[in-house]
Amino acid sequence: MPIVRFLLPDGTEQALDVAVGVSLMEAARQEGIEGIVAECGGGAICGTCHVHLQKDCFDRVEPAGMTESALLQIVPDASETSRLSCQIIMSEDLADMCVRVPAVQLEL
């Protein structure tokens, strides 16, 4: 199973096996990674599963849709490689990617 490394706000790192076809948010929720709230369950509507991708991975994934792009405008600590992790579906191509979890998520 491909591995994804999550860099957590406290500076530690957690490596997860993420099955192909599962979203990064789902993998993070199932392992109980704090900092990814994901209140809407994966609909790209709550903006509480924001992560920063590495530039090369960011360029390889499908671009964000309209609602996700709009939410990324208002999430705290946004960067050029910000995405909602519920919209990043794991593929072999993304194996060993590194994802940074921001210190705070959008407050609902």
Partner 1 sequence: MSAADAGGYTQAASGVVIIGAGHAGVECAYALRTAGYALPISLISAESCEPYQRPPLSKGFLSGAMDAKRLALRSPQAYEKQDIQVIIGDPVLSLDSKRNSVITASGRHIEYGHCVVATGAQARTLPKLQGTNVYSLRNLDDALTLQSKLTGACRLLVVGGGYLGLEVAATAVKLGSSVIVFEQSPVLMSGKVSQHTSSEFQAMHDQAGIRLMRDAAIDRWESLPNGGWRAHLSDGSTHEGDVVLVSVGAVPYIKLAVEAGVACDGGILVDEHFRTSVPNIFAIGDCASGYRPELACNARVESVQNALDSARAAAAAIVGQPPAAKRPATFWSEQHGRRLQIAGMINPAQEVRDFVTATANGWLVERYQQDLLTAIEALDSPVEFVKTMKLIGSVKAPLGPILPTHNQETTDAHS
In the complex, the residues that contact partner 1 under the rule CB under 8 A are 19, 21-23, 26, 29-32, 34, 39-41, 43-47, 66-67, 70-71, 73-74, 106, 108
Tally of CB atoms within 10 A around 89: 16
Shortest reach from residue 71's CB to partner 1, in Å: 5
Shortest reach from residue 104's CB to partner 1, in Å: 14
Shortest reach from residue 26's CB to partner 1, in Å: 6
Q: How far is CA 69 from CA 6, 33, 92, in A?
A: 22, 24, 25
Please say which residue, 11 or 32, places its beta carbon nearer to partner 1: 32
Please say which residue, 17 or 59, places its beta carbon nearer to partner 1: 17
Q: How many residues does the chain have?
A: 108
Please say which residue, 56 or 66, places its beta carbon nearer to partner 1: 66
DSSP string, 29-73: HHTT-TT---TTSSSS-S---EEEE-HHHHHHSPPP-HHHHHHHT
Shortest reach from residue 53's CB to partner 1, in Å: 20
d(CA 89, CA 24): 6
